[in-house]
A = this chain, B = another copy of it.
């Protein structure tokens, strides 16, 4: 191919992007114009993929961490012949209903491997994908899984802490098939990078165990040489590709003015002149488009060869690989969970739910080999490691447990990447209070609707002496606020098993299991196989007659509710207890079911060792609430529960007082 053709292929990206931003009246032309050469080299000469089979499992992954430059990706997908993004979408860039949304959204169109935009997330995703590739390679061999993961990232990604966590982790794990291309344009929104940063990025990567290269990001052969060197390395590689933001726009290139706003008609016209692109907006000359489409067909043969190889693999392995990639659970899973629940019902253990979770995981990991565990350096506290999960170590990926280090944000982002890669179900652990440290990645898992499971232990003041910095108070509410996030807080070993089952069965949502540090009794009495936690809320302990009082509780507070019920019943007050392992699942129940639990005339009391926010949905404004109104304190758990008034006695007193008031004056109830 001639140099001129390559240049024009890059220009096709530049003008599709700049014109789309212009039409939208907003967006980011600078990155697509600056990184068009990098993208052209990568997608026409390196990246292995097949637009006809965008879900081909062994494709190279491309993560566009600098997601604000989304038009680069949409241009590529159109030019390469992915069917999902058409010129219509590009013309309607950033308009409601267009697949060419403001930032790339996974699921909107084939070829978008991850939803990106919040900076740095893509680096973590890519580390997870590269790790998933190695784990699956260790299990299925080179013939089936053997690909690279490429990332295009910007200065902003590198400044974010999440990236530095991810980079250190990738270097440690020697993920040599991971290649970062840094669009090194020296510009951020505020102006020159030097306003806020003086880091020697190459040296910093090298300190983390990476190969670090640099090249002229507009010289196709230099880019190609760097990519060749990256592929050959036994370390992950950073390529610092020096570019000019807004390349070709004579008045704005190289400045922040090209970053995040339309160039304007005159500037685009001048760019057309400068780059020799006389074509009208959204028109790509057929010669150029043909070359792009040919590039799109480049790896078709390799894909077919892979299919041939795959067809020759033994049926069991093939079936297993396909099952995993589909995300189906193994056939033995449900039975294993029933068996475990029955055992818990028999044994009625007195254990912390984090220990119950460990026991459940022991069963799950035995039958679900795609479970990949981990912890942010709290393995023994989160109880996420089971007998099946040997550690994954640098260069040996046959294990099933990741020591993520004290890197909650990269951990969660890497888990997102594993789930996006497919073939694995990542679960992991930290303390619930540190959900704050990984919330950026948690939110994206919910937005993408992917199955990642976070074990978050030490879920209340019940953790005791570590004190308020470690005691979650607002975290249940804050996590429940995230759309499409399943927040489970099981009450005992039986519910813990049920919640694990639900987390695994809900393929289109992330789950959080909030678990106790402290020992809890088994409160579930029945021995049915029905997963009652699937209801979100259910009557765990009925009233002796028509309920005069309903006590709602979650997790460790269900036992307190059961105790309070006992005392109230003893005083002749019929009381029922409703366990609420998941607000989200409760909302999915029929109106009739919900009404039966929340719309009767009983006095409502909720007990949860957290803030009240959200509970009025169950108990109404007039309902009683026993929980936290501020931060916790350092002390033994039982003393803290007494100190903050989260006890059966306090519950009984509150109910008795209210019932007394109501007797005296009906008006009082509304206060």
Contact = CB atoms under 8 A, between A and B. Distances in A.
Given A96-B633, A160-B437, A169 B190 contact: no
Interface in A60-101: 67, 94-98, 101
A26 B24 CA distance: 59
A72 B161 CA distance: 28
Nearest to A466: B102
Q: Give this chain's copy count.
A: 2
Interface in A402-438: 403-410, 433-434, 436-437
B481 A407 contact: no
A466 B103 CA distance: 6
Interface string A14-38: 0000000000101100000000000
Contact of A616 (B434, B591, B616, B640): B616
A339 B430 CA distance: 50
A161 B477 CA distance: 25
Contacts of A630: 483-484
29 contacts: A24-B465, A94-B467, A101-B633, A101-B634, A102-B465, A102-B466, A105-B468, A116-B469, A168-B199, A172-B196, A189-B380, A190-B377, A195-B391, A195-B403, A197-B405, A198-B394, A199-B207, A203-B207, A207-B207, A436-B443, A444-B469, A447-B469, A477-B477, A477-B478, A477-B481, A481-B611, A481-B613, A483-B628, A616-B616
A168 B163 CA distance: 13
Given A96-B635, A377-B156, A188 B406 contact: yes
A474 B172 CA distance: 35
B439 A436 contact: yes
A115 interface: yes
Interface in A542-593: 591
A636 B159 contact: no
A309 interface: no
A43 interface: no
Contact of A467 (B105, B190, B636): B105
Best-buried of A117, A163, A628, A635 by chain B (most CB within 10 Å): A635
A670 to B, nearest CB: 7
Contacts of A378: 189-190
Given A198-B208, A437-B439, A474-B482, 18 more contacts: A96-B640, A96-B643, A105-B468, A116-B469, A117-B467, A118-B434, A159-B377, A161-B161, A161-B163, A169-B196, A171-B198, A172-B199, A188-B377, A201-B207, A202-B207, A477-B478, A484-B630, A616-B617
B115 A196 contact: no
A376 to B, nearest CB: 9
A480 interface: yes
Contacts of A140: none
Best-buried of A116, A474, A636, A671 by chain B (most CB within 10 Å): A474
Best-buried of A102, A156, A209 by chain B (most CB within 10 Å): A102
A310 to B, nearest CB: 34
A378 B188 CA distance: 9
Contact of A190 (B375, B407, B595): B375
Contacts of A440: 434, 436-437
B477 A613 contact: yes
Interface in A595-637: 595, 598-599, 611-614, 616-617, 620-621, 628-631, 633-636
Interface residues of A, number: 115
A215 interface: no
A172 B197 contact: yes
A205 to B, nearest CB: 8
A349 to B, nearest CB: 23
A117 B431 CA distance: 12
Contact of A639 (B96, B380, B434): B96
A466 to B, nearest CB: 4
Contacts of A203: 203, 206-207
B469 A118 contact: yes
Contacts of A394: 198
Interface in A133-169: 155-156, 159-165, 168-169
Best-buried of A204, A473, A595 by chain B (most CB within 10 Å): A204
Nearest to A201: B207
A39 to B, nearest CB: 21
A470 interface: yes
A605 to B, nearest CB: 15
Contacts of A591: 671
